[in-house]
Amino acid sequence: MANPKATCETNLGTFTVELFADKMPLTAGNFVKLAKSGFYDGLHFHRIIDNFMIQFGCPHSRDAASSRAGTGNGPDGCIEDEFPPEQKISNEVGTLSMANTGSPNSGSSQFFINTKHNDFLDWFNKGTPSKHPVFGKVVEGWDIVEKLSTTPTGHGDCPKTPMQMIKVSVTD
């Protein structure tokens, strides 16, 4: 059975991600559930750091100017960290990774797309305290992700011009 894909329609264009439900069922399943409920529709990218990552999924980012953007969780709260020893997927360019506070089991609705290889964020990297499980990868529309990643930012790495996710549609 093929992994689900999510089509992400933004105000700059559309990109598609494959969700690794076969390798990361809890984390990918959480994303699918949120996307199918419409949770992500209308939110804004609230943190963009060129040559690092773009972050998305905070419910407070519905208002692009909210000072609380980056601090919220999904309606079901946090999920358990998913670190299966047989699935050591690195935070390579184009991968989706669960954002968290740094504390165990603090991931929820926020995720980021790596725009460079950020192996220091790998949960299995013994040289870093960061632990971010990868649960998907951009498979189409990388040019749109690149446009998002080079958007000028201001205070707190927030885009100066709002970058909105219009709709996320999942196909199984």
Digit-by-digit pLDDT tens for the chain (172 residues) are: 799 999 999 999 999 999 999 999 999 999 999 999 999 999 999 999 999 999 999 999 999 999 999 999 999 999 999 999 999 999 999 999 999 999 999 999 999 999 999 999 999 999 989 899 999 999 999 999 999 999 999 999 999 999 999 999 999 8
The per-residue pLDDT for 89 is 96
**Is residue 77 in some structural domain?**
no
**Is residue 144 in some structural domain?**
yes
Whole domain around residue 96: which residue ranges? Answer: 5-64+89-171
**Is residue 123 in some structural domain?**
yes
- Write down the residue that tokens 């996320």 correspond to: 168
Catalytic status, residue 112: yes
Which residue in the list 30, 55, 73, 91 is annotated as catalytic? 55
**Is residue 132 in some structural domain?**
yes
For residue 98 the two structure tokens come to 């669960």
CATH number at 54 reads 2.40.100.10
**Is residue 72 in some structural domain?**
no
Catalytic status, residue 132: yes
**Is residue 83 in some structural domain?**
no
User: Would you say 10 and 148 are in contact if contact means Cβ atoms under 8 Å apart?
Assistant: yes
Catalytic status, residue 47: yes
Catalytic status, residue 100: yes
**Is residue 18 in some structural domain?**
yes
Catalytic status, residue 51: no
Domain count, the chain: 1
Other residues' Cβ atoms within 10 Å of the Cβ of residue 24: 24
**Is residue 124 in some structural domain?**
yes
For residue 148 the two structure tokens come to 């998002």
Which residue in the list 19, 112, 118, 148 is annotated as catalytic? 112
